[in-house]
Structures are given as C-alpha cells and as structure tokens.
Amino acid sequence: MDICKRRLMKELSTAEKGLPSGLTLVSANDLTSWYIDITVDSNSLYQGQIYRLMFMYSPNYPMKVPNVQFVPDENRPIPIHPHIYANGHICLDILGDGWTPVQNTVSVCLSIQSMLAGNHTNERPPDNDSYVRSAPKYAQDSRFIYHDDSV
C-alpha cells in the first residue's frame, strides 16, 4: 500500500535530519529494512557499548507492527537483558499486541533504549536456551507472553 512507502519516506527524511541522542541511522535499504545503532546513557549495564537494531517493514506498515530485533556484528553484541534472547529477539509489548499505528521507528528505539537503561539484571530470559533452539527466524513470528513489566 502507498501509505507504507510514504510514511517510511517521511520517517526517513526526519531521521536523516537527526535522531535523538544515542541513536544512529546506519542504513535504510529500499525503505523496507533499516539498521540503527543504539547506545544507552551512562550509569547502566550497557555503558560504552554499541548495539545494532534491525527494522523490517511489511507493506501493511504502520497498521502492522514492524519486525524489530538486535543483530550481532563484529563489535555489536546482543545486549544481555531478561527480555532479550541470545538470538536478538526482543520481548516487548509494543512489538507485538501493544503496537498501534501511531508508533514509529524512533519511538520504538526510545522504548528499547529505556528498557535497557532501566535494567539492573545481567541475565538472559529464563527460557532463553529453549526459545533460541526453536525460535522462528523473525521475532515477529513468535508469540511472547508479556508477564513481567517490572524489568
């Protein structure tokens, strides 16, 4: 649908003018997949480390949630967090049932940033090993249960 392309173009032109602190646009290939580097402010477990997020938009965006996950790279590990699996999949309500079309790429980044900044537990999710073994390629295809909002 046309709206998807138009909206992504608008988001991109805004992003190219400058992103909030801690976010860097790495690439936005033919609009439908973006890579964004993310850092977290000091005084957190993730101080001084850069992580890389991948966004994939379906033609139904923004009605449908984009697929968002961490992707590893040479010096870009997957952050250790009780809601982030070792394969980069993120368990966050706005990336599932909590998505609404007024959210956007930057607002998702900011949510992930604050999810990292507020965490003090240096652990993977309890079901990390079993999940990673059987997880689908894209986090979007998983059905997470958002049981714990305190972390």
Partner 1 sequence: MTTKEKLRQANDYKYAGNISFHTKNYTQAMEQYSKAIICDPTNPVYFTNRALCHYLCKELELTEVDCTRAIELLRDCGFDADTNPQTTSEVPAAQKPLMSSLLKAQFYLGMSLFGQERWRAAIKHLKAAYPLCRHFNDPKLMVIIDSVRICERQLSQEVYERETHERAQLHTLLMGLLNKKFRASCELKRELHCSEEYDSLKAKYESNVASLTDIFSQVNEKKKKEHFGDPNALEDAPDYLIDPISLDIFRDPVITRTGQTYERAWLLEHLATSKTDPMTRGPLYASDLVPNIAIRNAAEAFLKKNMNPAP
Which residues are tagged catalytic?
91
Q: How far is the CB of 101 from partner 1 (least distance, A)?
A: 4
Under DSSP, the state recorded for 103 is: -
Site string for partner 1, 21-60 (x = CB under 8 A): ----------------------------------------
- What is the rounded distance in angstroms from the CA atom of residue 76 to the CA atom of residue 64? 28
Distance, in Å, from the CA atom of 65 to the CA atom of 91, rounded to the nearest integer, reads 13
Q: Between 15 and 40, whose beta carbon lies closer to partner 1?
A: 15
Q: Is 1 in the site for partner 1 (CB under 8 A)?
A: yes
Choice from 16, 69, 102, 136 touching partner 1 (CB under 8 A): 102
How far apart are the C-alpha atoms of 15 and 64, rounded to whole Å? 21
